[in-house]
Amino acid sequence: MKKILMAEDEENISDFVRRGLAGFGYEVTVAEDGTQAWQLLDGKSSDFDLVLLDIRMPGLSGLEVCHRLREQQGYSIPVLMLTALDTTDDIVAGLRVGADDYLVKPFKFTELVARIEALLRRSSLNNQQAALSSGDLELDAASHQAKRCDKVVDLSIKEYRLLEYMMRHEGEVLTRRQLLKDVWDKDFDTNTNVVDVYVRYLRQKIDEDFAQKHIQTVVGQGYTFKK
């Protein structure tokens, strides 16, 4: 049975989700605020297979809990943010501290279940995959680190997923919509610049100090990854 920690201060929401997920075979532990959530996670994230975090809670915010989790224990456990906020800045803030995905309230329960299943599948797959390599760039699925010319590059979870996807589709032209759908697992408003923001982050980390640029812009279409 997969175990989920849910940090949510609205009892009607946490109770609804807990009972609903129990019907799908998940065991859900509820934390009433961010401080309690961190007490349950501190040093023992292996007790859970996935974490659901509301961004705005008493005590520690969901952003702070996620940041602490990633700083202390890396990216071994997927994190899904639940929040009423829906601006691009809020999406980016959650993803930058290490969240894997983002679901805006009110949400359909079937969508929540689908997101959880997708994150757990990806987590299981990532744990089994060997390192990827392309030219002088290596990507380690276990540590979520990249190496270029043996120089270690630390990546956030979203940067890792974006780079992994681009490396697996080397030479293909990847549109922004395609990246939103396959890396972020949802169709954001096509006016969002979240893809461009994260491509810029990756370029700064893996391309900026090197003459050969792996990530290239295809004008009017999107991006491509080349050796």
At residue 106, the pLDDT reads 85
37 φ/ψ angles, rounded to the nearest 5 degrees: -60, -45
Task: Give the whole-number percent of the chain exceeding pLDDT 90.
Answer: 48
Task: Give the whole-number percent of the chain exceeding pLDDT 70.
Answer: 90
For residue 68, is pLDDT > 80? yes
At residue 70 the predicted structure's pLDDT band, cuts being 50, 70 and 90, is: confident
For residue 127, is pLDDT > 60? no
Verify that 75 and 59 share a domain, yes or no: yes
Q: Which residue range forms the structural domain that includes residue 97?
A: 3-127
At residue 150 the predicted structure's pLDDT band, cuts being 50, 70 and 90, is: confident
CB of 55 closer than 8 Å to CB of 34: no
Could you tell me the CATH number of the domain that includes residue 194? Answer: 1.10.10.10
Distance CA 189, CA 20 (A): 29
- Token pair 């805006």 is found at 104
In the chain, the number of structural domains is: 2
Last residue of a domain, one of 97, 127, 157: 127
What is the distance in angstroms between the CA of the first residue and the CA of the last residue of the chain? Answer: 42
Lowest mean pLDDT among 11-15, 83-87, 171-175: 83-87
For residue 117, is pLDDT > 70? yes
**3-class secondary structure, 94:** helix
As beta bridge partners, residue 222 has 175, 218
Verify that 65 and 134 share a domain, yes or no: no
Task: Supply the mean pLDDT for the chain.
Answer: 87
Highest mean pLDDT, choosing among 28-37, 83-92, 140-149? 28-37
**By C-alpha distance, which of 210, 95, 225, 193 is closest to 153?**
210
For residue 73, is pLDDT > 80? no
At residue 116 the predicted structure's pLDDT band, cuts being 50, 70 and 90, is: very high
Verify that 47 and 61 share a domain, yes or no: yes
Predicted model pTM: 0.59
Q: Taking residues 136-149, what's their average pLDDT? A: 82
Q: Taking residues 107-120, what's their average pLDDT? A: 92
At residue 173 the predicted structure's pLDDT band, cuts being 50, 70 and 90, is: very high
At residue 175, the pLDDT reads 93
What are the helix (H) ranges across the chain?
Answer: 11-22, 34-41, 62-73, 88-96, 109-128, 157-168, 176-183, 194-202
**By C-alpha distance, which of 6, 2, 12, 72 is closest to 34?**
6
Could you tell me the CATH number of the domain that includes residue 102? Answer: 3.40.50.2300
Last residue of a domain, one of 91, 109, 127: 127
Q: Taking residues 127-138, what's their average pLDDT? A: 75
Last residue of a domain, one of 72, 105, 127: 127
